[in-house]
Amino acid sequence: MSVDRDGVNVVSILGNDYTIKAPEGEQQTLMAATVMLKAALADTKRKYPSLIGDKLLVLAALNLCSQQIELKQQHKQELDRYQEQVSATVDVIERTIGQS
């Protein structure tokens, strides 16, 4: 990935160059996303060596989206569990204060 002085980034994916202007301060995020996409493409290509071009890109993107959905679901479950723990602790504190 290359960046010019105007903050325009050139990203090469599957042999094609894409010119992307990242908002100020977001170049690192764009670089990380590019690395993640390239890794997903390489992983998908290893699993399905006959895929090329758009089909490879779409399957890699769907895999990334699926991973994101799973992470969001796990995060929600953890938040729910923590909320239950906090609520239980608050109940214990309220009962303890009420007994004083």
In a domain, 55, yes or no: yes
The tens digit of pLDDT for each residue in 44-91 reads: 999 999 999 999 999 999 999 999 999 999 999 999 999 999 999 999
Distance CA 30, CA 77 (A): 29
In a domain, 75, yes or no: yes
Q: What is the pLDDT of residue 81?
A: 97
Supply the range of the domain harboring residue 39. 8-98
Give dist(CA 28, CA 37) in Å, integer.
14
- The secondary structure of residue 35, as a DSSP letter, is H
The pTM of this model reads: 0.71
Tell whether 84 is covered by a domain.
yes
Instruction: List pLDDT tens digits, range 2-46.
Output: 555 566 888 999 999 999 988 888 889 999 999 999 999 999 999
Look at the chain and report how many structural domains it folds into. 1
At how many degrees (to 10) do helices 53-99 and 27-47 cross?
A: 120
Residue 3 lies in a domain: no
What is d(CA 40, CA 24) in angstroms, rounded to the nearest whole number?
A: 26
Asked if residue 2 is part of any domain, the answer here is no
